[in-house]
Chains A and B, each alone.
Chain A
Amino acid sequence: MRIVALLGFSSVVHAGALLVYGYLYPSEPQAAIASQTIQLQLKPTPQVVATVVPQSAVRLDNRTNKVLVTRSEQAEFSVASSRVSVDSTTPELVGEKNRRKPNINQPVVVKLQPETVPVAPVTVQDVSATLKIVSEQSADVAVVAEVLPTETVVTAKIEPLAKTSLIDDVAESAYQEKVDPFVSDVVVVAVGSERLPAGKGQAGSDRLAGLKSQLGEQLLYAFEQYFSYPLKARRKGWQGEVLLAVVVARNGEVSKVQLLSSSGYKTLDRAAIKSMNKVGKIDPTRWQLSLVDQPLQIEVPVAYQLVN
């Protein structure tokens, strides 16, 4: 069995260093680096590990809440000029297990140049990181970035690389989160563009949508026990969608619940936050949290609907 892409939760991270794992052609690592740039403006500098994998190879294991990398049959994935063939559907856990034996396909570690870190002090809110990745089938690209504990706000953004002839389309998404000083690590899942080309790209996008939904479902399953639809909202006929950002600590505890987007009604927003806080702790046996070495931040969409 060969693993195509991995390293999402790699601990090969050093304080003050910024690393990107790109999945690149082993014999020409420098060429691949050339097509990927990461711009980070961070203070203090967080440690970021980003793994570039084909979208089609990524999904979330429902029970363990781990990011899995699957090899699709005969799928091809390439980053920049790199080309790797994948030929299996067996999922592999990315985590400690793989951390001990990484680099099966000799991924390339990209080290950012120190000069990208600004000298001038910036406020926490200003801190952002931009990750640029390009591939021939960029819709198939997912980035799994890992941020270590720092007092920062990190924005990871995948942007088109200008003037690269290889680009057909470029996955783009933005993800924001605020990390508390002493709330430890957070995994950022940046997802490919919504405007995807048909065919293989679409399949990859489905897969990533699935990954996202499964991340959420872990929490939702617990949330189901604590839902409420406030009397006031029912009486007034209020309906809407609330988007929550939920940080789940390593021991399964819901350590933070934040409102990402409002339903338009404070009553419903509050109800969603309150219910999610009631979840308290997620059953570690379900989650097998021992396999998770980082807290997870998950976007949880909650829709409030009235029916006759």
Chain B
Amino acid sequence: MLYFKSLPLAALSLLPLAIAPTVSAETQSGQLVVTATRMAQTTDQTLVPVSVITREDIEKSPAVNLPELLSQLPGVDFSTSGGRGATSSLFMRGTNSNHTLVLIDGVKIGSATLGSTPFEDIPLAQIERVEVVRGPRSSLYGSEAIGGVIQIFTKKPTQGVTATAKLGAGNHETRDASAGLSMGSERGSFAVNLAHFTTNGIDAKQGLDSDNDGYQNTSAAINLNANINASTVAEFTALRTEAKNQYDRSAAPFNDHSEKLQQTLGLRLNSDLSEDWSLGGGVNQHRDESQAFDSNPGEFNTKRHGADIKADHFLSETQIVTLGVDYQKDQVSGTSAYLKDKRDNTGVFGQWQAEYGKLGVLAGLRHDDNESFGTENTGNINLGYQLDEKRRLLASYGTAFKAPTFNDLYWPSSPFASGNPNLKPETSESAELGYEVKTKSYHYSARAFITNIDDLIDWACTLNCNDGMWWTDFWQPSNVSSARIKGLELESGFTLANWNGRASLSIIDSRNRDTDKYLANRSPRTLQLDLSRSYYESMTLSASLLAQDERYTNETNTAKLPGYGIVNLNGRYILAKNWAIEAKINNLFDKDYATNASSNGLDRTYLLSVSYNR
């Protein structure tokens, strides 16, 4: 029967849409289904490369922590100094580890002193969704969005009452437990989630204390939503994680470790004033605290207060203008007496997005006024042209910046070193061309980009450097170096019957422009493969491969770490209505590898879990 030809399509539509077409139209069961990608909250992925990881993807993934989860995305390259919980630095599209802006529920996180983001401390158990934007986005978000933006959303409450619990155990004495409760009605909703993770880990560093370096993480998240009226929603989000990470700074028998706190609080009000106007505003606070217990003890605390107001106005059905202002005040404290311990930043931004038939345009401008370095203007333009129902051409240009950290600016003066209050921000220019083909069942794309970063801040000896006495050297940071990054990202994926597959290859050449040496710790080539198969509704099996080429570990390119490839597996089986079991095996072939000099990479690990969901 001819009309049965729509059946395979109908069957496909029952599968999770791992591959989402940007915008497509297909006939299913006698109905035209126009499918579009739900606009990512960070930015529109029809014009900007955005990878979205949903809760379902997390459940299917072999990843146990956030760096492992993100490592399967194009443009992402982590360097980790040990096992789970060890410091993980992200080099998004070859940029520096502090060139990626990370937000949790819209609140900027990370340390203002070191400028780093503790990816390893944000538990997967608390995450509902992750959006990873590649390329500059400072024109919307301000400082740090040079390499990209990662926006993490904690679990949101749903209608009705649901309760979840999960218990897991694995080798290295790994224990994983989480529980959550969500309640919702038409008036509002509420969710609370608790999680605990502990592992004895592996020996993080070679050549020092050869004990196992363990890690513990305890977290709690609360989400509250109140529907004040039909068009106004108030939302409160809170995430607190406390972590303890053991590492080796010195030889045995010292128990070197750090204790860390991440706390994000946000209160937000969103209102649709009319069909064409919506207004949102909120206040937030973030705390990033870290205390080291080792031969060089110290405590570094960042407290950041923020507020913002944003208005969206639809000029027509195909044009949106967004205007907003945000304010942020960083305050640092701890054992170091910084020359200055607070600074504020005010940003004013505007963004315009329009569709003219097959042409899509996204343009943004932002002006930042920072107490420590003055003003910075950034902008971007993204163009997308739909060649036909499948193929798209993309082009973009954008500038971005990274504010100097408190360490760079205000490190207390000593006979050996001092911050430099005259530092300017690091600035970048990026351009990108892309071609993508997307249908409901497969997609592939190629993107080529180039990024120049100027005024990179480097610490170097500035006084008494060549007197032969290193102990008289005086170090200070300055805006001296520049980098050029050229990259190519190839991505593809398919959905066929019960199979889902995805592959990405990132080829990134990131170099110091003055010396032409490769920037340290980046791998020039990364291949990621994911394959999953579902058996009816009850079982999912996934396998992933992460392979990276050798990387230099120093700026002079005299030392390097070999390339490696690891295979990870995940199996999930629904036992009964509310019960499921799950097994994760990471580094299946027990590959001995590392992504950070003299550190050890995680050996083969497994984690078995039982979960309850109702």
Chain A residues within CB distance 8 Å of chain B = 59-62, 207, 209-214, 216-217, 220-221, 223-225, 227-235, 237, 241, 267, 270-271, 300-308
Contacts and interface: CB of A to CB of B under 8 A. Distances in A.
Nearest to A243: B31
A237 B355 CA distance: 17
Contact of A223 (B23, B32, B318, B354): B32
Contacts, number: 126
Q: What size tier do the contact residues of chain B reach?
A: 35 or more
A308 B20 contact: yes
Given A210-B4, A303-B33, A308-B52, 5 more contacts: A213-B6, A213-B29, A224-B27, A228-B23, A231-B354
A306 B37 contact: yes
Contact of B32 (A207, A220, A228, A307): A220
B230 interface: no
Contact of A300 (B2, B32, B129, B312): B32
A213 B39 contact: no
A303 B13 CA distance: 13
6 contacts: A59-B2, A210-B30, A213-B29, A227-B32, A229-B36, A307-B38
B582 to A, nearest CB: 21
B325 interface: no
Given A234-B38, A235-B320, A308-B54, A227 B354 contact: no
A232 B23 CA distance: 14
Contacts of A210: 1-4, 30
Interface in B40-82: 44, 52, 54
A228 B312 CA distance: 21
A308 B318 contact: no
Contacts of A60: 3
Contacts of A221: 27
Contacts of A62: 2-3
Interface in B351-405: 353-355, 389
Nearest to A270: B317
Given A62-B2, A224-B25, A230-B318, A305 B35 contact: yes
B17 interface: yes
Given A235-B320, A306-B36, A307-B37, A214 B30 contact: yes
Contacts of B38: 234, 237, 306-308
A59 B30 CA distance: 13
Nearest to A235: B39
Nearest to B27: A220
B30 A223 contact: no
Contacts of A216: 27, 30-32
A230 B320 contact: no
B14 interface: no
B469 interface: no
Q: In the A-B complex, list the 10 residue pairs whose CB atoms are closest, starting with the nearest.
A: A213-B30, A210-B3, A227-B25, A229-B36, A306-B38, A220-B32, A301-B31, A230-B317, A220-B27, A224-B25
Contacts of B35: 229, 305-307
A213 B28 CA distance: 9
B236 interface: no
Contacts of A59: 1-3
A304 B317 contact: no
Contacts of B17: 307-308
Contacts of A302: 31-34
A302 B26 CA distance: 10
Nearest to A244: B32
Contacts of B24: 227
A307 B24 CA distance: 11
A303 B27 contact: no
B32 A303 contact: yes
Nearest to B388: A225
Nearest to B2: A62
B319 interface: yes
B555 to A, nearest CB: 40
A237 B318 CA distance: 14
B593 interface: no
B303 to A, nearest CB: 34
Nearest to B22: A229
Most buried by B among A224, A225, A229, A270: A229
Given A59-B3, A213-B3, A231 B31 contact: no
A214 B34 contact: no
Contacts of B389: 224-225, 227
A229 B34 contact: yes
B444 interface: no
B34 A231 contact: no
A224 B390 CA distance: 11
Nearest to A213: B30
B314 interface: yes
A238 B100 CA distance: 31
Contacts of A241: 31
Interface string B554-579: 00000000000000000000000000
Contacts of A307: 17, 20-21, 35-38
Nearest to A300: B32
Contacts of B355: 228, 230-231
A223 B317 contact: no
Contacts of A228: 23, 34, 355
A308 to B, nearest CB: 5
Question: Most chain-A CB neighbours within 10 Å: which of B31, B316, B318?
Answer: B31
Given A232-B317, A234-B39, A270-B317, A301 B2 contact: no
Interface string B296-318: 00000000000000001010111
B422 to A, nearest CB: 43
A269 to B, nearest CB: 11
Given A231-B354, A307-B17, A307-B35, A217 B314 contact: no
Given A217-B30, A308-B20, A211 B37 contact: no
A194 B17 CA distance: 31
A260 to B, nearest CB: 13
Contacts of A231: 317-320, 353-355
Nearest to A217: B27
Nearest to A301: B31
Nearest to B30: A213
B30 A304 contact: no
Contacts of B54: 308
Contacts of B354: 231
A241 B32 CA distance: 9
B34 A304 contact: yes
Contact of B3 (A214, A224, A237, A308): A214
